[in-house]
Amino acid sequence: MKRLPEKLRLVILTAGLLLAGCHRSAEGPTLHVADQINTVQTVLTAAGEIKPRDYRIEWSNFMGGPAVIAAETGGSVDLGWMAETPLVYAQAAGSPVTVVAVAKGLRPGASNIALVVSPHSPYRNITDLRGKKVGFSPGTITQYLIARLLDKAGLSFHDILPVQTTTLSGAALDRGIVDAYVTAEPMLSQGLHDGKLRVLAYGGEPLTPGFSFLVASNQALADPKKAALIGDFVERVARATRWERENVDKAAPFVAKFYKITPELAETILKRTPAGYRPVDAAIIAEQQQESDLFFKLGLIRSRVDAAKLFDNRYAAQIAKVEGGQ
């Protein structure tokens, strides 16, 4: 085969590189976000905040915060949504992740998780579960609820038979796999509505703080361009969360579609568990420290951690702007 002249080869090579560069530029920057059962995507979609103009969001779905943190540590995810308990373990293990935004339930005692039993169960409180099979997902808020209930009753995990649950289905009760377990929305409200569950104890204050965290990988935060995208995303989620609680009737159909429940049930859930993002303050740090200290006391983490080092408040002004300067 005849070899192309050197100058022609350089022209073709340069054109190819330019075309490749144009393709990357057209695609634009990407923020890799980890969700759980479409929770964040649902609120962003309902509020019309799902599609940024200047960058693309690539979504992935996980079951539980520990899996999200593992993906962030591995470099495949920049930012993820979860409750606070996985960060206790992550901080104790030295995982390179940081909390960049905190949402808190706005109704004391309301929570999207609960310890449940079957409707005809003889068990009425946590002490009745001594020696019984109790299901929860280790490293998640479901474990913390059990820990708080046991500690309050003067018991420990040695007084129950812990069962690791990978599903939130009530079938575990029907099959005798567990005597009680912690479930979350929308399975919680659906099970109550269908008469298949009875609540022994809800999460929420004073048992659990009712936090939702946006957690970024340290690698992403160290990149100024990626950190700017995270800031936009944080503000976007804060706006959408406020819109959702102020427009329950409009948000409910979106929640119903994503979770495959009735709009009426979706509206009930949204009205019962309103939340809002807020800048990190001493109270938030203190509640996270209390949780970490309990896990240390129970021997679930090997060393005591300083919860204050877990948070990065660089986006506080953007969050405060959304929530009217709170």
Mind listing the pLDDT tens digit for each residue in 138-149?
Answer: 999 999 999 999
Mean pLDDT, residues 156-183: 87
Give residues with Cβ within 8 angstroms of 143, minimum separation 6.
85, 136, 137, 182
308 domain residue, yes or no: yes
Is residue 1 in a domain?
A: no
Whether residues 102 and 225 fall in one domain: yes
Residue 192 covered by a domain = yes
CA angle 58, 59, 64 (to 5 degrees): 145
Assign 12 a pLDDT band (cuts: 50, 70, 90): very low
Establish if 20 belongs to a structural domain: no
In terms of domains, do 227 and 134 share one?
no
Segment 235-262 shows an average pLDDT of 95
| DSSP H stretches of helix in the chain | 6-27, 39-47, 65-74, 85-93, 141-152, 171-174, 187-193, 218-222, 224-246, 248-259, 263-272, 282-297, 316-322
Residue 9 has pLDDT above 50, yes or no: no
Is residue 11, in this structure, part of any structural domain at all?
no
Same domain, yes or no: 194 and 90: no
The answer for residues whose C-beta is within 8 angstroms of residue 114's C-beta and 6 or more apart is 145, 182, 183, 188, 199, 200, 201, 202, 203
Same domain, 198 and 252: no
Task: Give the separation between CA 117 and CA 122, rounded to whole angstroms.
Answer: 9
For the chain, the distance separating the N- and C-terminal CA atoms, rounded to the nearest angstrom, is 73
pLDDT given at position 75: 96
Same domain for 76 and 140: no
pLDDT band, residue 324 (cuts 50/70/90) = confident
Instruction: Examine the domain organization and report whether 120 and 102 are in the same domain.
Output: no
Are residues 278 and 186 part of one domain? no
Q: Is the peptide bond before 206 cis (omega within 30 degrees of 0)?
A: yes
Write the CATH number for 239.
3.40.190.10
What's the average model confidence in pLDDT over 238-245? 97
Distance CA 291, CA 33 (A): 26
Per-residue pLDDT tens over the stretch 294-319: 999 999 999 999 999 999 999 999 99
Domain count of the fold of the chain: 2
Mean pLDDT throughout 71-84?
97
**pLDDT class for 167, splitting at 50, 70, 90?**
low
This prediction's pTM: 0.87
Q: Are residues 166 and 80 part of one domain? A: no
Instruction: Say whether the peptide bond before residue 253 is cis (omega within 30 degrees of 0).
Output: no
Contact 231/113 with Cβ under 8 angstroms?
A: no
